[in-house]
A and B are shown apart, each in its own frame.
Chain A
Amino acid sequence: MIRLTIDGKTTEVERGTTLLHAARFLDIKIPTLCYHPLIKPFAACRLCVVEVKRSWGMELVPSCHVACQEGMEVSTGSSHVLAARRLVLELMLARWPNVPILRKYAAELGLEKPRFASPLRDEREDACILCGLCVRACDEVVGASAISFAERGIGRRVATPFNLESESCIACGACALVCPTSYIKFEAEDHRGKPPEFLLDPNTAIYMPTAQAVPKVPSIDRDSCIHFQTGGCQKCVEVCEPGAVNHKMVDEEIEVEVGQVLVAIGYDTFDPTPMAQYAYGRLDNVYTGLEVERMLNSTGPTGGRVLLKNGKPPRAVGIVHCVGSRDENYHRYCSRVCCMYALKFAHVVKERSGAEIYNFYIDMRAFGKGYEEFYSRVLNEGANVIRGKVAEVVQAGWSKQKEGALLLRCEDTLIGRFREIPVDMVILCNAIEPRRDAEQVGRLFGLSRSPDGFFLERHPKLDPVATMTDGIFVAGCAQGPKDIPDVVAQACAAAARMMATISKGEVEIDPVRAEVMEEYCSGCRVCSALCPYSAISYVAERKVSQVNSALCKGCGTCVAACPSGAMTGYGFTDRQINAELEGVLAV
């Protein structure tokens, strides 16, 4: 530790601390222009000069660069220091009279009217003041060196090589971020690598996936992170005090040996783009349920307000049920959750925006606990429910007044009339569908899928969480569309089933097994070639085959193939099956 005195206050700092840092610890303000905590000191603006007592007198030194030394006596506010700062600032104001940060410091230093005017006077508020932060950020931090200073002396300016679009630029925006005058502006042309959900937000390469992320830790977007593009930066590592940022982390494949697997891979939402009549992706303000959910989120892009693309609240909102569900062309099943979330939207959107709400339903399925009551409440709140499938969503018209408005066409089956409802926003309650990789997952675990594509349970009533494969269980929407209470119940059931096996400590296997009657076995080994589990081995000394009953699954293929009838399958012996045959054909 080093002891020094700043403005009469004695302080202790670590070796290597700059005077600027030491002063800031003591709450002493020193103006800076070319300094940035994450970039190496440049000592070029000279605005941060302070006075240090030397053997030969008082010396002005740049505090951003000079390190504290034992016994140093520093003055940051003497008339000498202030006069120097004022003059340096005056010199800069002579050239850039309107740059806000210079004017701010001028006001702080009591510089009322700058005396000088430079021949290169630049009146812009966002003029470049040559602090070099952008150049250094690009070089030191980013490692791209896409911009640099060109020319020298008074002609110095920040430029790309030969003033052409720099090939080294990785469009990270670091230069614009550090620019104190906004001379460098960043215009995003695309959002590389951002998940679609985030397109609505400005974002950084290191971000919290969502405001309520679990676990609540930020993640790094490899495609946007400067470090993964240039090998430089790593400023997050520098500022993270616990040292939690690790750029070396890579995806790992971990092999875990388990005895049971719960397949709960969830669902995908139906993409309504192919239903051209609903104009999703074609007309503005047509959203899917999940997009609206994001909009309603208080940490979402609109802070939870219901807004149209033009930033105004909607006057009327149409909510279309059964988009892709209960539809011969897409999914014949009912997705089970849409009616209720559609009613929730009706309630929340009306509450937040005051818009007129129209729900278009085929049948209102409010079957759960308290659901019907909620339906009544929404009806009492004044939501309009129209029984009828929406035929199409079209642009309302081209007049100025109707600009952006949409028209919903449908048949109101209760009054037997064709109706056209004008709205500003359409919410499509799209279906739940099996995950696009459900087939591969099914193959992996030997699971069957029902015609709708969801995983098939062992028995729809008696064994709704197990599958045909021992030790593999299903839960949630992987097994079929269901709402949260049902998912929780099914998952608990599956967990309980698995726990039961674990707590028992041993596994029951089916008694259906093959066995060799050695007295008949000739040792031909037809059976062993057929066994998919390699459960049949040949006992050379007795010249017979033998079944390992722990490996045998009891399929019986070997039994059917045994030429000498030596192989027999318990539960399904030839005698038993022949007896059955006689039985079924007796009448």
Chain B
Amino acid sequence: MPHRMHLMVCAGTGCVANRSPEVRDALVTEIAKRGLENEIQVVTTGCNGFCGAGPLMVVQPDGIFYQQLSPKDVPHLVEEHFLKGRPVQKLMYVPPETRTPLPKMMDIPFFSRQRLIALRNRGLIDPERIEEYIARDGYAALAKALSQMTPQQILEEVKISGLRGRGGAGFPTGAKWEHVLKAEGEPKYVICNGDEGDPGAFMDRSIVESDPHSVIEGMLIGARAIGARWGVVYIRNEYPLAVQRLMIALEQAREYGLLGDNILDTGFDFDISVSRGAGAFVCGEATALVSAVEGRPGEPRARPPRLAQHGLWGKPTCLNNVETWADVPPIINNGGAWYAQIGTEKSKGTKVFSLVGKINNTGLVEVPMGITLREIIYDIGGGVPGGKKFKAVQTGGPSGGCIPNELIDLPIDFESLAEAGSMMGSGGMVIMDEDTCMVDVARYFLAFTQDESCGKCAPCREGTQLMLDILTRITDGHGTMEDLDALEEVAKVVAETSLCGLGTSAPNPVLTTMRYFRDEYLAHIGAHKCPAHVCRQLNTYRIDPAICVERGHGCGVCRRECPEKAIFGEKNQAHRVDATLCNKCGTCVDVCHFNAVIVE
């Protein structure tokens, strides 16, 4: 007897971290207790995308969306909704503007504005069961590609779709495949780049966790098109859940004869091995990745030759990232033209972005190319929390650029982002509000790239270090105007002369913040002030005597907590900070219950 209800409990990393397995177990127990186990089935799914609101559950077939569940909510939920048929409002999503709960998932703007292609199966299937993938038309594209299409036709379809690499550079996928197909040398390899090193980006992890077969199927189709026999998935070892699910998926695909020899009885042989990365950011660079797969230090090499000519083990290699491979099956199923109608003229289809930072709806969103930043941030992301002003968005990971509020109506595609001084990158979006210091942001991201530089080429190795020194000097209040000029000069040369993408893009945060927020730099250098009060060495701390006495009655918590014993005062009297002793740690601000400490 079919179940009348399916409870799709999210088991993505975000929700698992918020204890969704406990919620699932509680549900199973509670349902059994009520004797509903034959009517209601609990399904663990991959990442749903709305990670900020986890643990999540969607009740099908109605599409009722519950968020922030905890095991203690479960008895009430089962009783009310599943027995009595009354969805529980207090567990639903409440948009900040209207304050009316939205019961159905597709009514929530976060979901309704998305267009799912790469993430088509998220939250709908159990990623550890190949049958569920097949039930959602999985491997139909493979069957079509193998039985009804020639490799050339597959290639044509991908070319028509206008699909571009989702890893960051946006190289046309069809053209890349064609290079590999035409390259001389056997055997040929396909590689899936799952080394998602950008902090704040997690779409690749999410795809592998929620729908690993879509990647496998994409690689199979790609392998067929270019004539490869072997594939490699390079995935970070820091993604244990993704690795585990990928392994299960590969094993199941082999059992079903979808990997191995004579796939689907068409004479096509292909298999995939998994190579686990040790977590170096630079290994996301294609040549460094290949070097790492070969067992050598993960360092990039100069191109040309491209990987299409001289890739893994010196053979022609087609390397695409997880999201690109996941986009391939729908293109084959629905045709390239279908895909090409989505998006802008030069950037077709959809792109997954991870929304993080100062935003209400943290999570993964897949949107058509050409959508504006405003739509993403306000309509889908729900805007900046706490009524703060949006200041900038940093796109493309640590080596992307910061796009200011003035450009919020920028339609997002590869070209427009590059023009604005940033890049698509892997699709990370860090939203920053008025409390963010842009100099500090530049310093933060540069510290990351400086730390992750492999050190092979001189400009990146020495240049990122020098830029970091200068930025640290500025945020410490010791910067000069000469520093600012030098910073710009070094940033430009490092961008122009570095060997690989890491070095050429590392200066992006510096260059874009200098371009759009030069006044902040000048404030740091000229007035020795940080307008956002983030750079503590530039702040002065003062206690408002009126507030301290009237509201706090001179509680003295700041005096006790101050590590430098720089705060003086008696009970019931106003406290004061001795600026000569203060080390500007900001502890007093954090501990004062009455907001009496004023930062200037």
Contacts and interface: CB of A to CB of B under 8 A. Distances in A.
Interface of A: 33, 41-47, 49, 60, 62, 65-67, 83-84, 87-88, 91-92, 94-95, 115-116, 118-120, 130, 132, 148-149, 151-156
A92 B280 contact: no
Given A83-B493, A84-B493, A94 B462 contact: yes
B453 A153 contact: yes
Interface in B297-344: 297, 299, 301-302, 304
Interface stretch (B18-26, B135-143, B496-504): B496-504
A46 B459 contact: yes
B457 A46 contact: yes
A95 B462 contact: yes
A85 to B, nearest CB: 9
A88 B455 contact: no
Nearest to A91: B462
Given A47-B458, A118-B466, 20 more contacts: A43-B301, A43-B302, A44-B456, A44-B458, A46-B457, A46-B498, A65-B302, A67-B304, A87-B490, A88-B493, A91-B462, A91-B490, A92-B462, A95-B462, A115-B482, A152-B280, A153-B453, A153-B461, A156-B454, A156-B461
B451 interface: yes
Contacts of A44: 456-458, 499
B463 interface: yes
A313 B26 CA distance: 99
10 contacts: A44-B456, A49-B497, A62-B302, A66-B304, A84-B497, A88-B497, A132-B456, A152-B280, A152-B454, A154-B453
Contacts of B573: none
Contacts of A151: 455
Contacts of A47: 458
A154 B461 CA distance: 6
Interface string B352-393: 000000000000000000000000000000000000000000
Contacts, number: 99
Contacts of B457: 43-46
A155 B462 CA distance: 10
Contacts of A88: 458-459, 493, 497
B469 interface: yes
Interface string B457-486: 111011111100100000000000010001
B571 to A, nearest CB: 46
Interface in B166-218: none
B454 to A, nearest CB: 5
- Of A84, A87, A156, most B-chain CB atoms within 10 Å: A87
Tell me the dominant secondary structure on chain A's binding face.
loop
Contact of A155 (B280, B455, B489, B496): B455
Contacts of B452: 152-153
A130 B457 CA distance: 9
B466 A91 contact: yes
B285 to A, nearest CB: 13
B297 A91 contact: no
Contacts of B493: 83-84, 87-88
B302 to A, nearest CB: 4
B508 interface: no
Q: Which of B297, B302, B463 has the most CB of A within 10 A?
A: B302
Contacts of A83: 493
A91 B458 contact: yes
B496 A60 contact: yes
Interface-central residue, A41, A91, A120, A132, by most chain B CB under 10 Å: A91
Contact of B297 (A84, A120, A148, A154): A148
B426 interface: no
A91 B455 contact: no
Nearest to B301: A43
A44 B299 CA distance: 11
A350 B37 CA distance: 115
A392 to B, nearest CB: 65
B64 to A, nearest CB: 49
A132 B454 CA distance: 13
A94 B297 CA distance: 27
B48 interface: no
B54 to A, nearest CB: 35
B458 A46 contact: yes
Which of A154, A155, A156 has the most chain B CB within a 10 Å cutoff? Answer: A154
Interface in B65-117: none
A45 B458 contact: yes
A379 to B, nearest CB: 71
Nearest to B455: A156
Interface in B428-462: 450-459, 461-462
B342 to A, nearest CB: 27
Contacts of A120: 465
A91 B467 CA distance: 10
A152 B463 CA distance: 14
B454 A153 contact: yes
A80 to B, nearest CB: 9
A92 B458 contact: yes
Given A43-B302, A44-B499, A153-B453, A94 B466 contact: yes
Given A91-B466, A153-B452, A155-B455, A41 B302 contact: yes
B283 to A, nearest CB: 11
Contacts of A41: 302
A95 B454 CA distance: 17
A120 B453 CA distance: 16
A87 B493 CA distance: 7
Contacts of B499: 43-44, 46, 62
A154 B450 contact: yes
Contacts of A155: 455
B455 A152 contact: yes
Contacts of B451: 153
Contacts of A62: 302, 499
B486 A115 contact: yes
A115 B489 CA distance: 12
Nearest to B451: A153
Nearest to B463: A91
Contacts of B463: 91
Contacts of A132: 456
A83 B488 CA distance: 13
B489 A87 contact: yes
Nearest to A49: B497
B544 to A, nearest CB: 40
A110 to B, nearest CB: 16
A65 B303 CA distance: 8
A488 B304 CA distance: 66
A106 to B, nearest CB: 14
Nearest to B449: A153
A43 B482 CA distance: 30
A47 B465 CA distance: 18
Contacts of A66: 304
Q: Which of A46, A65, A67 has the most CB of B within 10 A?
A: A46
A49 B297 CA distance: 25
A130 B461 contact: yes
A120 B457 CA distance: 17
A292 to B, nearest CB: 53
B462 A118 contact: yes
A500 B554 CA distance: 130
Nearest to B468: A154
B289 to A, nearest CB: 15
B428 to A, nearest CB: 21
A47 B497 CA distance: 9
Contacts of A49: 497
A585 B429 CA distance: 130
A153 B482 CA distance: 26
A42 B453 CA distance: 17
B349 to A, nearest CB: 24
A151 B452 CA distance: 11
Contacts of B497: 46, 49, 60, 84, 88
- Tell me which of A41, A44, A148 has the highest count of chain B C-beta atoms within 10 A of its own C-beta: A44
Given A83-B493, A153-B451, A153-B455, A116 B461 contact: no
